[in-house]
Structures are given as C-alpha cells and as structure tokens.
Amino acid sequence: MKRKSFIFILMAAVAILALGSCLSNPAGGKNNAKDSLDWEGVYEGTIPAADCDGINVSMELFKDQSFQMSYEYIGKSTEPILWKGKFKWDDTGNIIILDVKEDTPSYYKVEKTKLIQLDMKGKLIKGKLAENYYIWKVL
C-alpha cells in the first residue's frame, strides 16, 4: 500500500511540474515580443529633442522586417526626415535594431502597445524623461 501511495504522489508531483512549466511559457518556448505579440503596425509619438520643442515620430513595421520612419522636428524643419529599410531582432526577440545611419537611434524595445526608444547602446533610457521615449501603436 505504501508503494502505491508513493507512486501516486510521485506521478501527481510530475504532473504539477509539467503543468506549471506550460503555464509559465504558453508560447512553447517563444515567450518574446517577436513571436508572441502583434508588433506589425504603425507607431506614433513625440520624443524630446535638445534643440527644438520635440520630434514627432511615425514608424511603421512590416512582417517582412522592413520599416519606414519619419522624424519631424517641431518648430524647426518644414519637411520630415524619412527612412526606409530593414530591421533585425536581437537575440532575446524583444528589441528591434533598425538599419539606419550611425547618429540616429536604432534600438527599440517592443511591447504590447508601444515601442520604447533605447539609447545609442541599446539600453533603457532612465530618469524623469524616460516615459517621453514611448512611441504608441495606433494601427
């Protein structure tokens, strides 16, 4: 009788562990933005700028890993600056890296409803203005 109880308890423990691992990673090992979020679409926002009132940013991401983006310097320029190109995902599948010129921010963390512009080294911007670097999904 003790042997049957031990086997039953052991089987129950294995079942609980297996179920727990499925719940913690329901995407079957793909628990990242690239594989589990609907990231394709249009994002817009206004980010801070050192020499004007801000930069209106519009970015569209496509499933084929291409993008188009525009920067409009508020109160400074008449024509928006446009970029088109490809992007790649970092190893985590949570950050995209745009193929743009060197002095343009190219790292963005992908979240459910927004992109977060990262610094020039791909790190989160911290401090009082951190939330001003969010570009919100509109389509």
Mean pLDDT, consecutive 10-residue stretches, the chain (139 aa), reads 55 47 49 96 96 95 97 88 95 96 87 96 94 97
Q: How many percent of the chain have pLDDT more than 70?
A: 78
DSSP secondary structure of 67-130:
EEEEEEETTT-SS-EEEEEEEEE-TTSSEEEE---TTS--EEEE-SSEEEE--TTS----STTG
Of the candidates 65, 116, 59, the one whose C-alpha atom is nearest the C-alpha of residue 83 is 59
pTM: 0.77
Q: What is the C-alpha to C-alpha distance for residues 139 and 131, in angstroms, rounded to an integer?
A: 20
The pLDDT of residue 14: 44
pLDDT at 29: 55
- Over residues 36-75, the pLDDT tens digits come to 999 999 999 999 998 899 999 999 999 999 999 999 999 9
Which residue, chain included where needed, has tokens 């919100």? 136
